[in-house]
Amino acid sequence: MARVVVLGAGISGHTAAQILKRKLGKNHEIIVVSPNTKYQWIPSNIWVGIGQMTTKNVTFELAPVYKKLGIVYTQAKATAIYPEGDTTHSKPFVAVEYTSKDKSGQTGEIEYDYLVNATGPKLNFAATEGLGPDGHSESVCTYLHATHAWERLQESLDKMAKGEKQRFLIGTGHPTATCQGAAFEYALNVAFEINKRKLNDKAEITWITNEYEVGDFGMGGAFIKKGGYITSTRIFTESILSEYGIKWIKRAGITKVEHGKAHFQTLDGEIHEQEFDFAMLIPAFAGVGIKAFGKAGAEITTDLFAPSGFMKVDADYQPKDFEDWSVADWPSVYQSPKFDNIFAAGIAFAPPHAISKPMTNKNGLAIFPTPPRTGMPSGIMGKVVALNIAERIKTGQKEPLHKASMGKMGAACIISSGYGFRDGMAATMTVFPVVPDYEKYPQWGRDTSYTMGEPGLAGHWIKLVLHFMFIYKAKAKPFWWLIPE
Taking the CA atoms of residue 140, residue 145, residue 150 and residue 153 in that order, the dihedral angle to the nearest 10 degrees is: -80
User: How many structural domains is the chain composed of?
Assistant: 2
The contacts of residue 198 (CB under 8 Å, 6+ apart) are none
Asked if the structure places residue 401 within a domain, the reply is no
Residues 263 and 303 in one domain: no
**Mean per-residue pLDDT for 413-419?**
72
- Whole-number pLDDT of residue 392: 96
- Whole-number pLDDT of residue 421: 58
The contacts of residue 87 (CB under 8 Å, 6+ apart) are 295, 296, 297
Residue 394 Cα distances to 1, 5, 25, 385, angstroms? 10, 17, 11, 14
Asked if the structure places residue 81 within a domain, the reply is yes
Asked if the structure places residue 11 within a domain, the reply is yes
- Angle between helix 143-161 and helix 180-196 axes, rounded to 10 deg: 30
Rounded CA separation 385/391 (Å): 10
CB atoms inside a 10 Å sphere around CB 180: 26
DSSP 335: B
Residues 387 and 430 in one domain: no
CB 8 within 8 A of CB 115: no
- Whole-number pLDDT of residue 450: 80
How does pLDDT run across 87-96, given as a tens digit for each residue? 999 999 999 9
Q: In sequence order, which ranges of 197-330 are alpha helices (DSSP H)?
A: 233-243, 301-304
Element (H, E) at 342: strand 342-344
Residues 44 and 191 in one domain: no
**Mean per-residue pLDDT for 3-8?**
98
Residues 148 and 261 in one domain: yes
How does pLDDT run across 145-163, given as a tens digit for each residue? 999 999 999 999 999 999 9
How does pLDDT run across 365-403, given as a tens digit for each residue? 999 999 988 888 899 999 999 999 999 999 998 899 999
Spatial strand order in the sheet of 278-282: 247-249, 203-208, 166-172, 278-282
Asked if the structure places residue 404 within a domain, the reply is no
Asked if the structure places residue 352 within a domain, the reply is yes
Residues 303 and 390 in one domain: yes
Rounded CA separation 285/79 (Å): 18
Residues 66 and 204 in one domain: no
CB 146 within 8 A of CB 49: yes
Residues 376 and 468 in one domain: no
- Whole-number pLDDT of residue 458: 60
**Looking at the predicted structure, is the pLDDT value of residue 464 above 90?**
no
CB atoms inside a 10 Å sphere around CB 337: 14
Rounded CA separation 159/156 (Å): 5
CB 42 within 8 A of CB 59: no
Rounded CA separation 202/274 (Å): 18
Domain hosting 447: range is 125-284+409-482
SS3 content of the chain, % helix, strand, coil (to 5): 30, 25, 45
Q: Is the peptide bond before 372 cis (omega within 30 degrees of 0)?
A: no
> pTM for this structure?
0.94
**Mean per-residue pLDDT for 238-265?**
96
Asked if the structure places residue 225 within a domain, the reply is yes
- Whole-number pLDDT of residue 422: 61
The overall average pLDDT reported for the chain is: 93
Q: What angle do CA 326, 397, 10 make, to 5 degrees?
A: 65
Secondary structure of residue 251 in the 3-state scheme: coil
Asked if the structure places residue 346 within a domain, the reply is yes
- Whole-number pLDDT of residue 457: 61
CATH number at residue 379: 3.50.50.100
Residues 171 and 250 in one domain: yes
Residues 326 and 467 in one domain: no
Q: Which long-range contacts (CB under 8 A, 24 or more apart) does 99-102 make?
A: 99/35, 99/36, 99/75, 100/75, 100/76
- Whole-number pLDDT of residue 137: 98
Share of the chain above pLDDT 90, in %: 82
